[in-house]
Amino acid sequence: MKDKDTVDFISAKHISIGIHPWYVTADDIEQQTEWIKQTAINDKRVIAIGECGTDKLCNTDMNIQNEAFCNCITLSEELKLPLIIHSVKTSNEIIRLRKSIRPKQPWIIHGFRGKPEQALQYTSNGFYLSFGKLYNAESIKIIPLDKLLFETDEYTGNITEIIRNAAETLDIPSDKIQDIASENAKRLFFNR
């Protein structure tokens, strides 16, 4: 972790922890998995496993990414925590994996920017989609509202700005979209 990341981690009210495909190596998968497990058990701020997943555009070997992702899926199920997924050019594989595993815990696609067809593929297979500052307007218009979440990720602005922009795209009052997304988040992360 960088110094700023460490400060953010220590001061955060709620956190998710996972093995990001950009940073995993074969040498540390088991060590990271055990750290995540112990932290999730002992730190009540942990509300999800992730960001984890697969990314065809990063330099990490896909076998290593898949092993780390599967470890995070196992932790998600074992600890009964939602899974936050990083997926770049791997949506078909992620959907197939969900179908074969049939997890009990919710799976959330982080920072979704894909096309409407991909959004429907995900939501029809039980995924939630989390939208940040940048998103495909046509995709956000067609997903069921009970699958809608928002995030800031690396955006330094306030999440209310993201919600306000989405509300304009959806032609729904901002306070209603905020209520819907808040209820979805409560159901996923705090009603367990």
148, 177: one domain: yes
**Predicted structure pTM score:** 0.92
Share of the chain above pLDDT 90, in %: 89
Judge whether 53 and 69 are in contact, CB under 8 Å.
yes
Q: Which one-letter DSSP state was computed for residue 147?
A: G
Judging by beta carbons within 10 Å of its beta carbon (0-12, 13-18, 19+), is residue 75 exposed, middle or buried? buried
Q: What is the tens place of the pLDDT at every residue in 77-93?
A: 999 999 999 999 999 99
Given a cut of 70, whether residue 56 has pLDDT beyond it is yes
**What is the average per-residue pLDDT within 108-128?**
97
Range from 15-24, 97-106, 122-131, 152-161 carrying the lowest mean pLDDT = 152-161
pLDDT-derived band at 191 (thresholds 50, 70, 90) equals: confident
- Rounded CA-CA distance 164/143 in Å is 17
Task: Flag whether 156 is in a domain.
Answer: yes
- How long, in residues, is the chain? 192
**In sequence order, what are the residues at sequence separation of 6 or more whose Cβ sits closer than 8 angstroms to the Cβ of residue 28?**
none
Residue 153 pLDDT exceeds 90: no
Domain identity same for 125 and 80? no
Is the pLDDT score of 8 beyond 70? no
In this predicted structure, the answer to whether residue 6 has a pLDDT above a threshold of 80 is: no
Q: Are 135 and 48 in a shared domain?
A: no
What is the structure's pLDDT at 85? 98
Residue 27: is its pLDDT beyond 70? yes
| Final residue of a structural domain among 73, 98, 123 | 98
Rounded to the nearest integer, the mean pLDDT of the chain is: 93
Whether residue 118 sits in one domain with residue 186: yes
**What pLDDT was estimated at residue 9?**
57
Whether residue 129 sits in one domain with residue 83: no
Is the pLDDT score of 32 beyond 80?
Answer: yes
CATH number at residue 91: 3.20.20.140
Q: Which residues span the domain enclosing 179?
A: 111-192
pLDDT tens digits for 127-139?
A: 999 999 999 999 9
At residue 107, what are phi and psi to the nearest 5 degrees? Answer: -115, 130
